[in-house]
Structure 1
């Protein structure tokens, strides 16, 4: 079969059919459910930017999905680029009725929910790199297959973006450290099935979190993240704001979702923001 990766129509790559929007709406939109709308666009710059622009007039639970993103953004303004229909590129709108100081748990909650949903529907083991990367194993090597970006929108809203590489092949990877569910030998790469599972998992975790007023311990989120986090127990190098560098062992997550690093001098430091590198023994 010859495949084309241009955007010359929905069936230009027969291995990558478009999402079935009516079926997704039937499965996910319910009167008493979290998700209030689900829209799919063929292409856009950034689903986060598009959803944030309308957050003031949309109710909580709006979902925006793009078959292709041309200016997808990750943390630290990094680009996220992938062929059309090769992954899941979506943003959701939350308006959490929990104390604002606990909103920092939303990207971690999304990571747990996505890893849980993808493992269930895709049959692939996933782990989390603090604070917002989804990792898979490709040939015994740790690879990034997904990322999360949460952004405040107005006074009461948070837009959370999620990008997951589903069917990217070796020759399509943007960087050698990238991976995909396909390369991790997932039992299913059907994007409709994966998306339903991720959004259902996200709804369950979010409802539990809100019910406990955002308390990550009471709703089980803190323990679940720690259990699935590949960063804990590893030697890490944190590139902190102000060009400061911190190196040590990642030993815990605190109640605010910060990474606690044990330093050389015997103390600990809680990292709330920064770029984390997993340090190998030979580094």
Structure 2
């Protein structure tokens, strides 16, 4: 689907006054800085609707039409994807749905797997600060908030390769979803978690600034998760650690054990009843018991 520019949005633009559109001009003015001393963000575009910001930005990156630091935001996604090919759906302007292009030149490729975890740390710390919502991470990069005493997923992250030198990181955050709009029982939103603000403009600015700061620290440390402080910070904010979990692995296998660590490759380490420490690099994690 070809993105439609937000300035040419349809008549539904103001149909929900509680969900005003993003101010693309103000966002660019706040985040995009040019010149030798400029920051990471090189461009920011807001479109009214598209299938998937990740798919669009990957296509632009591969065709050479996007530089590192490009940001693509959609007011609505109708084919949004999460991890494990899950669909991500939400009403228009009810959340933040955006993708960024990173080109970590010079960083060993084996360390690129930390980028989605880095993005999770950046988003969680920004949301806790700007929206006043305690935000935790479920391994590898689901964003958890507390609604009525229960952990709920309010956001997620999907990273995809873009050619040989790029990674597109997509972030989706439920901001103003009401209880009757939640796609699944385990979902939540910043509003339902009692956020002090649901104004998406400052929330997006905070997340992107936090992402820029963590990305630059990680790059300055040559992608080393320990030297950059990323591994320690991720572990401190990870709600999965210390819990008994079930890892549902590709191929239909599963492993149950206590999540005891996140190793240097970003894998979740499970201590099983057999006394084995088993690293898990891919799969779905189910929290079986509170920490």
Q: Same fold (TM over 0.5)?
A: yes
Match of 2:48 in 1: 42
Aligned pair partner of 1:30 in 18, 33, 40: 33
Match status 1:107 vs 2:116 = yes
SS of equivalent to 1:42: strand
TM-score normalised over the length of structure 1: 0.96
CA–CA separation in structure 1 for the residues paired with 2:271 and 2:118: 24
Match of 1:4 in 2: none
Shift of 1:218: 0.4
Aligned pair partner of 1:19 in 18, 22, 25: 22
List gaps (5 residues or longer) in structure 2: 1-9
Tell me the C-alpha RMSD between the 2 structures: 0.8
Match of 1:3 in 2: none
CA–CA separation in structure 1 for the residues paired with 2:77 and 2:141: 19
SS of equivalent to 1:214: coil
Aligned pair partner of 2:59 in 29, 46, 53: 53
CA–CA separation in structure 2 for the residues paired with 1:79 and 1:276: 17
**Cα deviations by residue, 1:7-49 (Å, 9 ceiling, x for unpaired):** 7421110000000111000100012110000000000000000
**Cα deviations by residue, 1:254-276 (Å, 9 ceiling, x for unpaired):** 00000000011011000000010
Match of 2:270 in 1: 261
Q: How many correspondences in the alignment?
A: 275
SS of equivalent to 1:159: strand
Match of 1:190 in 2: 199
Shift of 1:120: 1.1
TM-score normalised over the length of structure 2: 0.93
List gaps (5 residues or longer) in structure 1: 1-6
Match of 2:84 in 1: 76
**4+ runs deviating over 2 angstroms:** none
5 Å matches for 1:102-181? 102-181=111-190
